[in-house]
């Protein structure tokens, strides 16, 4: 599993869901230049099949297509089983959209448009999969049983916390507890984001959403 995770870190699989061949070709070029692998789906069934065959690092959907909170591609991923179920779902903005435009709750983040150049590359790199190596070092000290149980419980609490953020509800006491748990299990980025939330920093909300989704995806991949 360790070697598989190293491959996942070095050459993650990105699932691109769009019927626009020009868009998929251009985005493939951007991703492959970063040594990321690309799978392409034109419908929910294809997306489900690719995600089931191998863990994906993220699902990118075409933001120029009509979006709502029941997006079939997003639902197909979240309703699937296996490690891909928790992967980030990102929407690629069209050239006339802004990254700050409201997004449906089924989407974890917005990506800038293709013509934004390095801005898009930097945005993609922020969604690079989280390494499980720090957690494995903790497992080496305390054993896999206790740590696996803690990770499972953390995932449930993080899912609940994300749902609360989507409802614009912030529980600073729970944020403090989540910061401690994430730090204990080696998820440094999520630890820092939730600690900021617990201290009343409302500017850390987007960072908490991003790092929490990446942590959930890492937990889903397993040790």
State how many domains the chain has. 2
86-107 tens-digit pLDDT: 999 999 987 755 554 556 667 8
Task: Please tell me the predicted confidence (pLDDT) of residue 5.
Answer: 58
Over residues 71-90, mean pLDDT: 89
Q: CB count, 10 Å around CB of 33?
A: 9
Asked whether residue 98 falls in the same domain as residue 49, the answer is yes
Q: Domain of 119?
A: 12-125
Asked whether residue 139 falls in the same domain as residue 198, the answer is yes
Asked whether residue 87 falls in the same domain as residue 148, the answer is no
Going by pLDDT thresholds of 50, 70 and 90, the confidence category of residue 11 is confident
Taking the C-alpha atoms of residue 112 and residue 49, their distance in angstroms, rounded to an integer, is 27
Task: Please tell me the predicted confidence (pLDDT) of residue 67.
Answer: 58
Residue 71 in domain: yes
Over residues 40-59, mean pLDDT: 92
Residue 2 in domain: no
Domain end position, chosen among 94, 125, 156: 125
- Please, what is the average pLDDT of the chain? 88
Domain end position, chosen among 107, 125, 143: 125
Q: Is the pLDDT of residue 84 over 90?
A: yes
Of the candidates 153, 159, 163, 157, the one whose C-alpha atom is nearest the C-alpha of residue 176 is 157
Task: Please tell me the predicted confidence (pLDDT) of residue 3.
Answer: 47
> Tell me, what CATH number does 84's domain have?
3.40.50.2300
Asked whether residue 55 falls in the same domain as residue 149, the answer is no
Asked whether residue 22 falls in the same domain as residue 70, the answer is yes
Taking the C-alpha atoms of residue 32 and residue 14, their distance in angstroms, rounded to an integer, is 10
Asked whether residue 24 falls in the same domain as residue 109, the answer is yes
Q: Rounded to the nearest 5°, which phi and psi values hold at 99? A: -65, -20
Domain end position, chosen among 125, 143, 177: 125
Asked whether residue 82 falls in the same domain as residue 155, the answer is no
Asked whether residue 193 falls in the same domain as residue 145, the answer is yes
Determine whether 131 is exposed, middle or buried from the number of CB atoms within 10 Å of its CB (0-12, 13-18, 19+): middle
């Amino acid at each position: 599993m360790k070697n598989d995770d190293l491959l996942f870190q070095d050459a993650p699989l990105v699932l691109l869901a769009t019927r626009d061949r020009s868009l998929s070709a251009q985005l493939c070029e951007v991703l492959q230049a970063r040594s990321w692998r690309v799978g392409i789906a034109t419908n929910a069934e294809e997306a489900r099949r690719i995600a089931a065959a191998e863990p994906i690092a993220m699902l990118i959907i075409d933001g120029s297509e009509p979006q709502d909170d029941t997006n079939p591609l997003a639902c197909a991923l979240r309703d699937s089983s296996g490690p891909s179920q928790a992967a980030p779902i990102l929407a690629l903005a069209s050239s006339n959209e802004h990254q700050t435009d409201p997004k449906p709750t089924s989407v974890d983040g917005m990506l800038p448009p293709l013509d934004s150049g390095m801005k898009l590359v930097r945005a993609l790199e922020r969604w690079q999969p989280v390494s499980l190596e720090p957690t494995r070092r903790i497992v080496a000290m305390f054993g896999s049983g206790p740590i696996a149980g803690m990770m499972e419980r953390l995932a449930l609490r993080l899912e609940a916390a994300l749902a609360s953020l989507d409802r614009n509800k912030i529980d600073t006491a729970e944020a403090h507890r989540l910061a401690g748990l994430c730090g204990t299990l080696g998820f440094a980025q999520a630890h820092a984001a939730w600690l900021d939330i617990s201290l009343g920093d409302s500017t850390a909300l987007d960072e908490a959403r991003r790092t929490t989704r990446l942590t959930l995806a890492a937990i889903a991949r397993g040790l």
